[in-house]
Amino acid sequence: MTDAHQSFLDLLHTQRVWDVELPGFDPASAPPAPLPLFHRWFAEAVAAGQPEPHTMSLATVDAEGHPDVRTLMLHDADERGWHFATHRTSAKGHQLAARPYAALGFYWPTQGRQVRVRGPVTACTPAESSADLHARSTGALASALTGSQSEVLGSAEELARTADAAWERARAEPDAEVASWTRYVVEAREVEFFQGDARRRHVRLRYRARDAAWTRELLWP
């Protein structure tokens, strides 16, 4: 083992998990459907000071069947499902077009909580995608106008030129359209709520869609 690797391991092993007082979670009090519980936990994460509670991991599968994952922002969570947006020409857009199924992961360490969502993915209408884009900031529009997401970049200078031009256009044309911008919805088939416990007696409650209803079941930690 090299000194650099040993230093990494030493640093890794000194890290602590949940050095805060964790909330309790009684699954018997959980609502019959997962969405109200997600809304409640999200609000509690915000109230607890969790940085960027609206960020989540999105997992998809590529053409070879290999998993892929990245972090992005939640745009909504409603009766249709969990919403996010990206270019349909991006790597994740191509993966979703070929295999429209995904998993989401939220982690809120201030309360030792995780939420996992799995299900088929549907692209929203062009009108919904356009409204999604223009409901966001000038910077978000500029980023979308920059385009070419996931493609090979020739140089940092090329990015700077393209991004500067996109910012100028976003300021001048706040209603500019980006044809590739697409809003997606993960139509949940499974939603799991994980409440960490300092004694490792973690609570895991899984909702599973069955026809028009949800079943609830506890899982071993």
Instruction: Give ∠ CA 103-60-62 in degrees, rounded to 5.
Output: 160
Residue 107 pLDDT > 90: yes
**Cα–Cα nearest to 50, from 20, 30, 72, 10:** 20
pLDDT for residue 147: 78
Paired tokens of 159: 């990015």
Q: How far is CA 153 from CA 123, 142, 148, 157, 158, in A?
A: 27, 17, 9, 10, 8
Q: Whole-model pTM?
A: 0.91
Taking only the tens place, the pLDDT of each residue in 109-143 is 999 999 999 999 999 999 999 998 888 888 888 78
For residue 211, the number of C-alpha atoms closer than 13 Å in the C-beta half-sphere is 0
* pLDDT greater than 80 at residue 64: yes
Q: Using CA atoms, how far apart are residues 76 and 58, in angstroms rounded to an integer? A: 14
Mean pLDDT of the chain: 93
141-174: per-residue pLDDT in tens? 878 888 777 788 889 998 889 888 888 888 987 8
